């Protein structure tokens, strides 16, 4: 998953590779070069009649660890467990929504396509977000069902996804057993396509440490102790958005998938779902980066989930 700062280096290296093999040209086109399918996603959503709840933020209350406005409340806290090389540090955003559509998605550059990236904090700022986490990095792959803010952008079911409905409930679902139009008609507001599912009906799922999300170049597996981002569901309109830092001995070792699932269950999630992690795992609150990404700074991603401030 190339970052903006590495893009020039990767382009140079892959361009040289094209001199000797057609594989290099394919890799350059597939993983580096921007492919914009919809250049102004906000305008496109407006043209499709998509609309969400508008918060009245005139009476918004901001504190060191939280924010509230018009019935939506958010608290953010840091937790550290273990010691020495086994220390794990993670951040929990407890979000209670006045309306499910208050939680929105935004694309890097306000454009839908592949290899279009920007830092979570920048996408958040561009969209006036009080809070944001990285999304599922939809732009690294060409599969999955992508519905954002009530509008279908991609219909290529491939894996288990997570669907946020306008009525506030959230469901795990099989992308290959439905289609984007059916989901939109049923009231789906946003989808995430990554995985695996971590918790279902309050139980930690088995076999999740062996799951492979993608089998293409650059992302064969997500096993082992890693930085993580996960979404948990406590109840309708009550979400837990969690970022686990990792790859930093003495500060945070990261978590395996089962450890992440156990953490989410312990926080009260009856449903939980893993999304893009590693260097992408980021949480932003009130214009500040909350966690410590494993790259030493933010890595570009293709999308965020956010609450407008």
- Reference 136, options 125, 151, 152, 148; nearest CA is 148
Residue 219 within any structural domain of the chain: yes
273-308 b/e with 16+ CB inside 10 Å = b? bbbbbbbbbbbbbbeebbbbbbbeebbbbbbbbbbb
Q: Report the run of H or E that residue 261 belongs to, with start and end.
A: helix 257-267
HSE at residue 104, side-chain half, CA atoms within 13 A, is 24
Residue 70 within any structural domain of the chain: yes
pLDDT digits (tens, 9 = 90+) for 203-258: 999 999 988 877 655 555 678 999 999 999 999 999 999 999 999 999 999 999 99
Residue 21 within any structural domain of the chain: no
Residue 230 within any structural domain of the chain: yes
Torsion angle in degrees (nearest 10) through CA of 198, 239, 133, 135: 50
Residue 252 within any structural domain of the chain: yes
Residue 185 within any structural domain of the chain: yes
pLDDT digits (tens, 9 = 90+) for 88-117: 999 999 999 999 999 999 999 999 999 999
Size of the chain in residues: 309
User: What per-residue confidence (pLDDT) applies to 2?
Assistant: 37
CA distance 207 to 302: 28
User: What per-residue confidence (pLDDT) applies to 294?
Assistant: 94
CA distance 230 to 26: 32
HSE at residue 259, side-chain half, CA atoms within 13 A, is 21
Residue 286 within any structural domain of the chain: yes
- Reference 32, options 194, 205, 199, 217; nearest CA is 217
80 contact partners, CB below 8 Å, separation of at least 6? 87, 88, 89, 252
Helix and strand element counts for the chain (H, E):
6, 21
Domain, as residue range, for 213 = 34-308
Which strand ranges, in their side-by-side order, compose the sheet holding 271-275? Answer: 61-63, 66-69, 72-81, 88-96, 238-244, 228-235, 271-275, 197-200, 203-204
Please tell me the pTM assigned to this model. 0.91
User: What per-residue confidence (pLDDT) applies to 8?
Assistant: 32
Q: Look-up: residue for tokens 């093999």?
A: 21
User: What per-residue confidence (pLDDT) applies to 252?
Assistant: 97
CA distance 272 to 49: 30
User: What per-residue confidence (pLDDT) applies to 220?
Assistant: 53
Number of structural domains in the chain: 1
- Give the chain's residues under pLDDT 50: 1-20
Residue 17 within any structural domain of the chain: no
DSSP 3-state of 106: strand
């Amino acid at each position: 998953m190339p970052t903006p700062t590495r893009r020039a280096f990767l382009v140079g290296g892959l361009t040289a590779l094209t001199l000797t093999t057609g594989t290099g040209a394919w890799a350059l086109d597939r993983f580096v070069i921007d492919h914009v399918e919809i250049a102004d996603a906000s305008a496109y959503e407006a043209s499709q009649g998509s609309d969400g709840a508008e918060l009245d933020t005139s009476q918004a209350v901001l504190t060191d660890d939280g924010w509230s406005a018009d019935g939506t409340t958010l608290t953010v806290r840091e937790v550290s467990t273990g010691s020495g090389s086994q220390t794990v540090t993670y951040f929990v955003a407890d979000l209670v929504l006045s309306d499910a559509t208050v939680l929105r998605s935004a694309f890097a550059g306000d454009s839908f396509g592949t290899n279009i990236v920007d830092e979570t904090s920048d996408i958040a700022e561009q969209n006036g977000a009080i809070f944001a986490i990285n999304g599922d990095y939809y732009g690294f792959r060409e599969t999955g069902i992508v519905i954002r803010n009530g509008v279908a952008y991609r219909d290529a079911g491939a894996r288990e996804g997570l669907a946020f409905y306008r009525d506030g409930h959230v469901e795990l679902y099989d992308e290959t057993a439905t289609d984007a139009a059916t989901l939109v008609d049923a009231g789906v507001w946003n989808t995430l396509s990554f995985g695996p599912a971590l918790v279902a009906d309050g139980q930690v799922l088995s076999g999740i440490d062996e799951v492979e999300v993608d089998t293409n170049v650059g992302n064969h597996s997500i096993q082992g102790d890693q930085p993580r981002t996960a979404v948990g569901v406590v109840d309708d309109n009550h979400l837990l958005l969690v970022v686990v830092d990792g790859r930093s001995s003495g500060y945070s070792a990261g978590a395996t998938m089962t450890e992440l699932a156990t953490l989410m269950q312990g926080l009260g999630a009856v449903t939980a779902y893993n999304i893009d992690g590693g260097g992408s795992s980021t949480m932003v609150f009130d214009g500040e980066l909350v966690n410590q990404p494993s790259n030493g700074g933010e890595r570009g991603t293709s999308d965020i989930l956010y609450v407008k401030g």
